[in-house]
Amino acid sequence: MDYSDHSDAALTRGFELAAREARAEVHVVSVQPPLELARPNLPKSVLLDVEVAAAKLQRYVAAGWADFSRTWQGQLLQSPRRVVSHVRFGKPANGIVQLASDLSADLIVVGTHGRQGLTRFLLGSVSEQLLHLAACPVLVMRPKTAITGDSVIESPCARCQEERERSPSELWCEEHRTKHGQSYIHHRHDRLADESSSRSRPR
């Protein structure tokens, strides 16, 4: 947790997943800059910083759980077996992965700022480090933002989105039915399969 909107999204997602799993636990971790806790006679100011960090995270998690419970009131399948907040010190990715290992975690949920280019190179990416270090799956809550002009990925087609809203049996607008049909084939495997035939290359 870095107390950003991305952290809020990760916390909420963690609560959502836990509400669907029997005996699930949510462990929320904030990794602070390195602190030599083993050093004797730590100054009171340092000890106070530790207490402040712990209290801040405790309030954050409590408020997040209260907001989530109000939003999902009457819809929760079950509450988590327990919700625990942890403050650790050191490198963020290492601290998160070590805690996940200590707890035998099944999943790590983390927010990301979605930085690209030079900013991402200079600041690094905790989420990317987690993907390399973690022994369990990692769910990255990336902000759903507009695709920039220098991206090789095209922005979603507004007409395709309108078509999906209008008819659940359709995926693409008239233009993209032909375009996508040249590069891949898809087939439905749900109750609407009878209403939608396999899409193949145009004749």
Residues whose CB falls within 8 Å of the CB of residue 162, separated by 6 or more in sequence, listed in order:
173
**More confidently predicted of 97 and 44:** 97
**More confidently predicted of 80 and 120:** 80
The pLDDT assigned to 41 comes to 57
pLDDT tens, residue by residue, 8-25: 999 999 999 998 887 899
Select from 17, 48, 54 the least CA-distant residue to 32. 54
SS3 97: helix
| Class in CATH terms, 5-141 | alpha beta
The pLDDT assigned to 3 comes to 85
The pLDDT assigned to 83 comes to 93
pLDDT tens, residue by residue, 30-44: 998 776 554 555 555
Q: Is the pLDDT of residue 53 over 90?
A: no
Q: Is the pLDDT of residue 28 over 70?
A: yes
pLDDT tens, residue by residue, 103-147: 999 999 998 765 554 444 433 478 889 989 999 999 988 766 655
Q: Are 14 and 26 in contact (CB under 8 A)?
A: yes
The pLDDT assigned to 98 comes to 95
DSSP structural state of residue 186: B
> What mean pLDDT is reported for the chain?
78
Decide: residue 156, CB within 10 A, 0-12 exposed, 13-18 middle, 19+ buried: exposed
The pLDDT assigned to 175 comes to 84
Give 27's Cβ-side CA count (13 Å radius): 19
In the chain, where does the domain assigned CATH 3.40.50.620 lie? 5-141
